[in-house]
Amino acid sequence: MTDPSDRNLVEALREVLAAIPETIVQVDGDFRVRSVNRQESPLFRRSPVAGDRLEEVFRGRTVGSVATLIDRAQREGEAEAEIDTGDMVFSARAKRLVNLPQTLLVFQDKTGARLAEQAMAEVVRDRSSFLASVSHELRTPLTAMVGYLTLLDQNGDEFPEEARREMLSEATGQARHMARLVSDLVMLARGKQRHVPLEISEGTVSSIVTGALRGLETETTRIVEDFQEDARVRVDTDRVRQAVANMLSNAVRYGGSQVVITERIVGSDLALEVHDNGPGVPTRYESAVWERFERGAHRLNATTPGLGIGLAIVQAIAEAHGGRAEYRRSERLGGACFSIYIPGCVVGQTSAVVRS
């Protein structure tokens, strides 16, 4: 007859084993389950019963790995392995029981740790890629600016006045490009869109667009401003100029040889649209292009410069004004059409503007 105290001890041990987060399985020499500390586990295809074969208990793709682990433990005394169920990852330890042809298996869920490792590795890769892109983007205008200024400083007297003015203009344009890039990075570093500070003033759409075009490299692209009316608006003119510059830069960089910027006015609401005749944005990237540091189909193309922050800035500026930024296929040129919509900002209208 079994002593009641022994039964109590057994029950207590079962409760302790059931409370352990790891899954513990005892297997005999015939690869049959003797006991388990829990009836449910992502490793199991159903609740185990004493005498079940491995293939009756473990999910299909894990059976071979578990059997191999048991073989190693029986030969070597102990063994370790990683078990992948397809959607989860477990570390597995197997130990041969002394003087018995049995093996004790302990499985620990490592899915969270694996996901954290993968996320950290992705962060490191993204950081390296970002630093490389920033270095490239800053180095290009900086090299040109230093080159022009060095020529003027060391040999300025040797150049005619017109050439000196041209070199100074080029250096100034490169400096503006760097300032715009740094401004974009600072804005992103400030966090969410609603925190973008605005300084509202009155200006005209044509002056905003003219400022956006200044310093833009457009040697192979024809840009046309096509406005039915030149609206007077109350906005943060510097921010909107920055948004338009980013949309134009995006069109010149990734679009085709033609770009048209248009305005639509409905009551006091303003929409500025940039059309191009390029390939447009692949459908799977239409939402992603608004994310920070996302370059869509060009993310792996190191020959095409860009940090993937321009459109994120456009969206931030639009939302700070209570508006929105949108993408659609251009019905005018067949490529991409990016637009910024700002409600309630139009305070007056002047004459039409159509110029290249």
Whether 292 contacts 309, CB under 8 Å: yes
Q: What pLDDT score does 212 carry?
A: 84
Question: What would the two tokens of residue 44 be?
Answer: 């199991």
Q: Which CATH superfamily is domain 4-109 in?
A: PAS domain (3.30.450.20)
Report the distance separating Cα 193 and Cα 118, nearest Å.
28
Residues 208-238 as b or e (16 or more Cβ within 10 Å = b): bbebbbebbeeeebebebbbeebbbbbbbbb
Find, among 263, 255, 239, the residue nearest to 341 by Cα: 263
Q: What pLDDT score does 142 carry?
A: 84
DSSP 37-75: S-S--TTBSS---TT-BHHHHB-HHHHHHHHHHHHHHHH
Find, among 335, 209, 327, 309, the residue nearest to 261 by Cα: 209
Q: What pLDDT score does 101 carry?
A: 83
CATH of domain 115-189: 1.10.287.130
Whether 72 contacts 95, CB under 8 Å: no
Q: What pLDDT score does 122 carry?
A: 75
The fold of 198-355 is Heat Shock Protein 90 (3.30.565)
How does pLDDT run along the chain (356 residues), one tens digit per residue?
Answer: 445 554 554 455 555 555 567 888 899 988 999 888 877 888 888 888 889 999 898 988 788 889 999 999 988 999 999 888 878 888 899 999 887 789 999 998 888 877 777 778 777 776 666 676 667 667 767 888 888 899 888 888 888 888 888 888 888 877 877 877 777 677 666 654 446 778 899 999 988 988 888 767 666 788 888 887 788 999 999 889 888 988 998 888 888 889 999 998 889 999 999 999 999 988 888 888 888 666 554 444 444 555 567 788 888 889 999 999 999 999 999 999 999 999 999 998 776 554 54
Residue range(s) occupied by CATH 3.30.565.10 in the chain: 198-355
Helix (H) or strand (E) holding 259: strand 258-266
How do strand 258-266 and strand 222-227 relate by DSSP bridges? Answer: parallel
Helix (H) or strand (E) holding 84: strand 78-84
Q: What is the pTM for the complete model shown? A: 0.54
Q: What pLDDT score does 327 carry?
A: 94
Residue range(s) occupied by CATH 1.10.287.130 in the chain: 115-189
Instruction: Give the DSSP letter of residue 145.
Output: H
Report the distance separating Cα 189 and Cα 338, nearest Å.
24
Report the sign of the C-alpha dihedral through residues 177, 179, 182, 186, in that order. Answer: negative
Residue 213, φ and ψ in degrees, nearest 5: -75, -25
Residue range(s) occupied by CATH 3.30.450.20 in the chain: 4-109
